[in-house]
Structure 1
Amino acid sequence: MSARARWAVVVLVLAVAGAVALWPRADDPPAAESTPSRPAQDLGLLRERAALPPCPSGTGGPAALRGVEVTCLGDGTPLDLAGALPGRALVNFWATWCVPCQEELKVLDAYSREPGAVPVVAVLVGSKEGDGLELLAKLGVRLPAVHDPADAVRAAVRARPGLPLSVVVGGDGALTEVADPPVFESVEQVREVVG
């Protein structure tokens, strides 16, 4: 065997040995256990800081949302979302990682404070409850808000994927996805869409 062939065999053996040495074994602890994690969030304290209003509750509401359980971010209670929407309303889906959602939440909050505004309910998806509370407190947004970790509300209304997303609830319970504008940038746009 030539010297070149011997060196090729040595390199191959070393590469295989290195791969075997680095290959995870069943008795190795998962990587997540070895990395420090974020401390558990005190949801009570975060709720206090966010100072959200209680979620509306009642009976009726859109048939598509009856039985869809969410958690009220204001007080942590479970809630059937249909009961929170007994009449005309605007439902806005958002996530903490969605940058356009943050600006839209501020616009919706300003709209909700106007006389004659229809109720606005913010639905947090794709994010942790505590992270949502932290962001709402930071933004100064005081909308009634719910947490939907299973994204069941969007599935129930058969909304398109992507965020931000808003749905208008009609007085008869009909649900209409807002396509134009894709993101509310002014109170006037919200007023125009909800009528």
Structure 2
Amino acid sequence: MRQFPVAWRWALAGLIAVIALAAALWPRGRDTDTTADNGQQARSSAGISEQQRSAANLAACPRPAPGTAGSGPLAGIPVSCLADGGAVDLAAALAGKPALLNLWAYWCGPCAQELPYLQQFAQRAGNAITVLTVHSDPDEAKAISRLTGLNVKLPGVLDADARVRTAVGAPAVLPISVLLRADGSVARVEVRAFTGVDDIANTVAQELGVAA
């Protein structure tokens, strides 16, 4: 009779040890699996499929000539091309030709009204000036979807952290059009939506001397 309580105590201690070990190991394995699953879902939701890019049919982004180094306030600012997801050295890609950069976002109503005018202006101006859209929001999928819905095919880049706006000293509003000289310097920051193709053409002619 004296040994029975001792045996019970050893059995109870062993059971507690087994339960504690199982409790310690089980959450770790589950947390690891959950973290891995969440990471995989985040990567999947952030990706843009080739089908989405193909459906948008955006014009290719400008690329720098070999050995070209960009200058001006946009020098050293990397962005990604909406057409193919590739990296773009913005200042270098725009060097040597006047440019109109239109800063916009998928959620901006006035931007949606203005973008078709910019496309018409680009068609009218031809090779005299580079017209480039700059999506100033990190949601690339919605940017591509918005351009597809508007049937706007202009070359565009993603500026997820609005470094372009900061570099040219523009306020935190949209849309904004940045007129760049061929040497990369800023001729004007237009903080408004253009009202039509002629409005764009007149502003570009006045600030950059490019007739269209």
Task: Classify the TM-score, shorter chain.
Answer: 0.7 to 0.9
Q: What is the alpha-carbon distance in structure 1 between the residues aligned to residue 71 and residue 104 of structure 2?
A: 20
* Structure 2 residue aligned with 1:119: 130
Measured against aligned partners, the alpha-carbon deviations of 1:78-114 in whole angstroms (never above 9, x if no partner) come to 1111022112010000000000001111110111111
Which of these two proteins has the greater Rg computed from alpha carbons?
2
**3-state SS, counterpart of residue 132 of structure 2:** strand
Measured against aligned partners, the alpha-carbon deviations of 1:8-45 in whole angstroms (never above 9, x if no partner) come to xxxxxxxxxxxxxxxxxxxxxxxxx9xxx9x8364311
Question: Which runs of at least 4 in structure 1 moved beyond 4 Å after TM superposition?
Answer: none
TM-score (ref. length: structure 1): 0.75
Q: Does 1:74 align with 2:83?
A: yes
* Structure 2 residue aligned with 1:19: none
Query: What's the offset of the Cα at 1:166?
Result: 0.5
Task: Decide which structure has greater helix share.
Answer: 2
Q: What is the alpha-carbon distance in structure 2 between the residues aligned to residue 130 and residue 62 of structure 1?
A: 30
* Structure 1 residue aligned with 2:60: 54
Report the CA distance shift for 1:42/1:190 in structure 2 as closer, same or farther (over 3 A): same
Query: What's the offset of the Cα at 1:158?
Result: 1.3
Query: What's the offset of the Cα at 1:115?
Result: 4.0
Structure 1 contact 93–164 (Cα < 8 Å) conserved: yes
Q: What is the alpha-carbon distance in structure 1 between the residues aligned to residue 142 and residue 125 of structure 2?
A: 30
Query: What's the offset of the Cα at 1:46?
Result: 1.2
Q: Does 1:165 align with 2:176?
A: yes
Q: What is the alpha-carbon distance in structure 2 between the residues aligned to residue 42 and residue 76 of structure 1?
A: 9
Structure 1 contact 43–130 (Cα < 8 Å) conserved: no
Structure 1 contact 65–81 (Cα < 8 Å) conserved: yes
Structure 1 contact 65–82 (Cα < 8 Å) conserved: yes
Q: What is the alpha-carbon distance in structure 1 between the residues aligned to residue 109 and residue 137 of structure 2?
A: 13
Q: What is the alpha-carbon distance in structure 1 between the residues aligned to residue 122 and residue 53 of structure 2?
A: 20
Structure 1 contact 125–147 (Cα < 8 Å) conserved: yes
Which of 119, 136, 152 aligns to 2:163? It is 152
Q: What is the alpha-carbon distance in structure 1 between the residues aligned to residue 105 and residue 159 of structure 2?
A: 10
**Letter aligned with residue 59 of structure 2:** P
TM-score (ref. length: structure 2): 0.69
* Structure 1 residue aligned with 2:35: none
Structure 2 contact 91–184 (Cα < 8 Å) conserved: no
Q: What is the alpha-carbon distance in structure 1 between the residues aligned to residue 54 and residue 183 of structure 2?
A: 35
* Residues 95-104 or 150-159, more deviating: 150-159
Describe how 1:131-150 pairs up with structure 2 within 5 A: 131-150=142-161
* Structure 2 residue aligned with 1:85: 94
Q: What is the alpha-carbon distance in structure 2 between the residues aligned to residue 186 and residue 152 of structure 1?
A: 27
Structure 2: which 5+ residue stretches go unaligned? 1-37, 206-212
